A = this chain, B = another copy of it.
Amino acid sequence: MRVLVSGGAGYIGSHTVIRLVEAGHDVVVVDDFSNAKPTVVGRLEALTGRPIPVHAIDLTDTDKTEHLFAHEQIDAVIHFAGFKAVGESVAKPLAYYQNNLDSTFSLLRAMDRHDVRTLVFSSSATVYGAEPELPMTEDLPTSATNPYGWTKVMIEQILSDVAASDDRWRIAALRYFNPVGAHASGDIGEDPSGIPNNLMPFVAQVAVGRREQLSVFGDDYDTVDGTGVRDYIHVDDLAAGHVAALDTVGSRAEPMSVWNLGTGQGVSVLQVIKAFERASGRPIPYEIAPRRAGDIAASYADPARANADLGWRATKTIDDMCADTWRWQSKNPNGYPDA
């Protein structure tokens, strides 16, 4: 298949591009580079040995999106593009809703006009809301605690209604747990702009000397050691899950499918720190800070449905994740170069 990857220059998108090419698919990337560096593309081409066509457009521009579909022969879409910073979404909710929903509307319209009705959407475990049952199964009710999360909840609902309205659609929403790690080469990885919001890139920046110490937000949760527990999943496992979903969704009886992509294992903040110290051989100084508003004690998937339906399973351990993150971080201490 010739697969359009929106947000294909981003963290998860870029790793999925590699897995798609390895699986024999052709890839076209669309990215507005508002939160990704164009230099990613050269690295993808070097790693895959293929030219990667790139359209540097904003999907909310309906004319440009239409033009893209008119000029590229697309068979399916994996839709990663979207604003994703939780804190910024609270400060600028309208920008988040407008960008994430309008880009999806524009994409769906162009797909429908050009008879492309196979879509894999980048959702998130954040749709399980503030007080989820554990482990999280796909049938739990959805909600959110911030506008970023609500855009995921809303887009899932919209996709479900679109799929129900026309049986030619085959749509999958993939609910990611906590993606970390990097490509085994160390040439592709997570390159957050500004202060990282997530634990692993922050730890990696401490290890490499870009930041002095880590704040651990809360050590009095009801967990194994009091710190927050998350289901970290290696981004390469996650990328493989996208390829599996893409290869499966077209032959499903149901027009809309939802799959958790996680390991099913909870790992605490202190366990991540210890694993990263082992992987990097460096100490990770940290201090205990107050809990952050909106954080939950523990989050981990029940990945049984994806395991069964997709023949997919996350295989990499927290030590693999830290080793690959460290390789990327030490090879690229300041992330991707500008040019």
B162 lies within 8 A of A94 (CB): yes
* Nearest CB of B to A203, in Å: 30
A26 adjacent to chain B (CB < 8 Å)? no
Contact A93 B161 (CB under 8 A): yes
A residues contacting B by CB (< 8 A) are 90-94, 97-98, 101-102, 105, 108-109, 112, 147, 150, 154, 157-158, 161-162, 164-165
Oligomer: number of copies: 2
Q: How far is the CA of A157 from the CA of B129 in the complex (A)?
A: 14
CA distance A336 to B82 in the complex (A): 45
Evaluate contact between B165 and A92: CB separation under 8 angstroms: yes
Q: Smallest distance from the beta carbon of A60 to chain B beta carbons, Å?
A: 10
Measured in the bound complex, the distance between the Cα atoms of B112 and A165 in whole Å is 35
Interface contact B94-A105, CB-CB below 8 Å: yes
Residues on B with C-beta less than 8 A from A90 are 161, 164-165
Asked if residues B94 and A158 are in contact (CB atoms below 8 Å), the reply is yes
In terms of DSSP, what is the predominant structure of the interface of chain A?
A: helix
| Nearest CB on B from A233, distance (A) | 28
Which residues from chain B contact A102 at a C-beta distance below 8 Å? Answer: 102, 105
User: What are 17 pairs between A and B in contact, CB < 8 Å?
Assistant: A90-B165, A91-B165, A93-B158, A93-B161, A93-B162, A93-B164, A94-B105, A94-B108, A94-B162, A94-B165, A97-B101, A97-B105, A101-B101, A147-B158, A150-B157, A150-B161, A154-B154
Chain B residues with CB under 8 A of A93: 158, 161-162, 164-165
Chain B residue numbers with a CB within 8 Å of A162 are 93-94
What CA separation (Å) do A109 and B60 show in the bound complex?
16
Smallest CB separation, A100 vs chain B (Å)? 11
Q: State A158–B108 Cα separation when bound (angstroms).
A: 21
Please give, as numbers and ranges, the residues of chain B lying within 8 Å of A158 by CB-CB distance: 93-94, 97, 147, 150
- Specify the chain B residue showing the minimal Cβ separation from A102: B102
CA distance A159 to B158 in the complex (A): 18
Which residue of chain B has the shortest Cβ distance to A106 in the bound complex? Answer: B98
The minimal Cβ–Cβ distance linking A36 to chain B, given in whole angstroms, is 24
Question: How far apart are A228's CB and chain B's nearest CB, in angstroms?
Answer: 24
Question: CB within 8 A of A109: which of B94, B109, B150?
Answer: B94
CB distance from A112 to the nearest CB of B (A): 8
Q: How far is the CB of A289 from chain B (nearest CB, A)?
A: 24
